[in-house]
Each structure stands twice: as C-alpha cells, then as structure tokens.
Amino acid sequence: MIAIIDSGIANLRSVQKGLERVGADAKIVEDSSTLRDASGIVLPGVGAFRDGITKLRDGGFVEPLLHAIDAGKPVLGICLGLHFLFSESEEFGHHKGLNVIKGRVVRFPEAVLSPSGGSSAARLKIPHMGWNQIRIERPAPIFKGIPDGGFFYFVHSYYVQPEDEGVIAATTEYGLRFTSVLWRDNLFACQFHPEKSQGLGLQLLKNFASLT
C-alpha cells in the first residue's frame, strides 16, 4: 500500500486516482502510524508553506516520515511536498522545513534579463502555471519511459535551491533554470503535478509505484 499523507492542503483524491489508474494500491492517510506499514509514501501539497508544514507537524507526520526516508522506503514529494523537504522557505517570511535536503525555497524574480543577452528585462507571469518541459540531468528510476524534453503541468510561485547540485535529477526553464525533479537514493520529488500531467505524469507515478 502506498500512503498518501493528508496534509489538509492538497487535492489528494486526484493523486490517489492517478496511482490507482496505474494499478497501485493507494490510500489517503490521516493517522501517522499508518506510514510504518506502507510500502511507499507520497507527500503532496498545494498552498502556503507555513500552513502545510504546520499541519504536518501537528498531525504527527514528521518523525514517521523522516524515519521512513532514513529506512530506505520510497518517498515521492509533489509540488509543495518538494518544498517541505528543504531546510527553509522564504514564502511569507522565513519558515523551517524538514531539512532532509539542505537548501532554500525562494520566489521567482519579478523580472529576468533578456535571453538574447541584452540589458532589457521582461516581467515573468507569477505563478508559473501551465505546461513546461523538463531537461533530464540524471537517469532517475522514475524517468523510465519518459523522454528528455517531456511536458508536465506546473503551478507554483516558488522554486527550490539545493546546496548540493548532485540531488538534481531534472531542470526546467522559466526565466531561469530551476530544479523540477529531485532524486537522492529512495527519495524523489517533483515541482510539477504528475497527477495533472496526462500520459507522462501517469508514467512517472507508475515508475514510482514499481519501486514500492
């Protein structure tokens, strides 16, 4: 059974349905003790970092989740779930994360230099919303059957900056190049929403389920 953590701030049913479509047994869990018996864990999330990390702590999920990661259980973070893994976020102030991955969560700049190298700056639309491509940097197991340059669905105003670039599995361009997929041993996390990314998103969920 793959446990989907109910952080109270995500469309959990769509994640569950995506996993079920690829043949996985997935359950939304509100009891943190359930993580002990799960074969894999999904940490989803949308909304504000502060509210989400508070709900995780208040729900007693932090210690079982950290233990599962240390024990080698496959874990997948989605969108805000990726952000939770980092040391801190600057979203609406500075807030401590789980510190599983050293680094910060920062906001997209309002403007970026012209890609042609000129001095003019263009305003970015924030949040970054819609379909965008990933550039595969390392052949993570969850990329089986997924081509370099594949399109996934994004909705976010903040992105992660890992201190160790060795954990970056894929990047995406939006005014700047940011980490869109993270991979370290049994830990995977993506900035996009695979449950909203049609065929390639389902393939990624299938690949994750096969590891559990």
Token code pair at residue 183:
């991979």
Confidence at residue 48, expressed as pLDDT on a 0 to 100 scale: 87
Q: Which long-range contacts (C-beta less than 8 Å, at least 24 apart) are formed by 81-84?
A: 81/7, 81/10, 81/42, 81/43, 81/44, 81/45, 81/189, 82/160, 82/182, 82/189, 82/190, 82/191, 83/45, 83/49, 83/158, 83/160, 84/43, 84/45, 84/49, 84/52, 84/53, 84/56
Which one, of 168, 208, 209, 163, lies nearest residue 191 by Cα?
168
Per-residue pLDDT at 117 exceeds 80: no
Residue 133 half-sphere exposure, CB side, CA atoms within 13 Å?
Answer: 8
Specify the length of the chain in residues.
Answer: 212
For the chain, give me the number of helices (H) and strands (E)?
5, 16
Residues 6+ apart with CB under 8 A from 118: none
Q: Give the mean pLDDT of 16-35.
A: 95
24 pLDDT more than 70 = yes
For the stretch 120-177, pLDDT in tens is: 667 789 999 999 999 999 999 999 999 999 999 999 999 999 999 999 999 999 999 9
pLDDT of residue 121: 67
Q: How confident is the model at residue 202 (pLDDT cuts 50, 70, 90)?
A: very high
Domain with residue 116: its CATH number is 3.40.50.880
Is the pLDDT assigned to residue 187 strictly greater than 80? yes
pLDDT of residue 116: 52
User: Which of 83, 95, 128, 193 does the annotation list as catalytic?
Assistant: 193
190 is annotated as an active-site residue: no
Based on the structure, what is the number of domains in the chain? 1
Across 102-111, 132-141, 196-205, least confident range: 102-111
| CA–CA separation, 80 and 8 (whole Å) | 12
pLDDT for res 29: 95
Out of 3-7, 41-45, 163-167, the most confident range is: 163-167
Q: What is the mean pLDDT of the chain?
A: 93
Catalytic entry in 30, 67, 79, 128? 79
Among candidate residues 91, 128, 190, 195, the one labeled active-site is 195
**What pLDDT sits at residue 138?**
97
Hey, what are 102's tokens?
């050293």
Highest mean pLDDT among 3-12, 114-123, 203-212: 203-212
Q: pLDDT value at position 113?
A: 54
Segments forming the whole domain that contains residue 110: 2-211
Q: For residue 34, what pLDDT is reported?
A: 93
Please report the beta strands in 56-100, taking only residues with DSSP state E, as ranges in sequence order: 75-78, 86-89, 95-96
| Known catalytic membership, residue 195 | yes
Chain Cα centroid distance, residue 202: 15
